[in-house]
Amino acid sequence: MITDTQLSLLANSMGAIAMILIVAYHFLTATPVAHQKRD
């Protein structure tokens, strides 16, 4: 059985991981696209 505390910790960690992935994805994709558009 999953307790409320475990569920809360899971939700918090998932949210943190999602934010990190979004920021990393945006950073990794935005830079090459900007260079391609300049060329």
In this predicted structure, the answer to whether residue 36 has a pLDDT above a threshold of 60 is yes
pLDDT digits (tens, 9 = 90+) for 5-28: 999 999 999 999 999 999 999 888
Amino acid at residue number 4: D
Segment (H or E) for 1: none
Q: pTM of this prediction?
A: 0.56
In this predicted structure, the answer to whether residue 32 has a pLDDT above a threshold of 90 is no
What is the pLDDT of the chain when averaged over all its residues?
85
CA–CA distance, 11 with 17 (Å, rounded to integer): 10
Model confidence at 34, pLDDT cuts 50, 70, 90, reads low
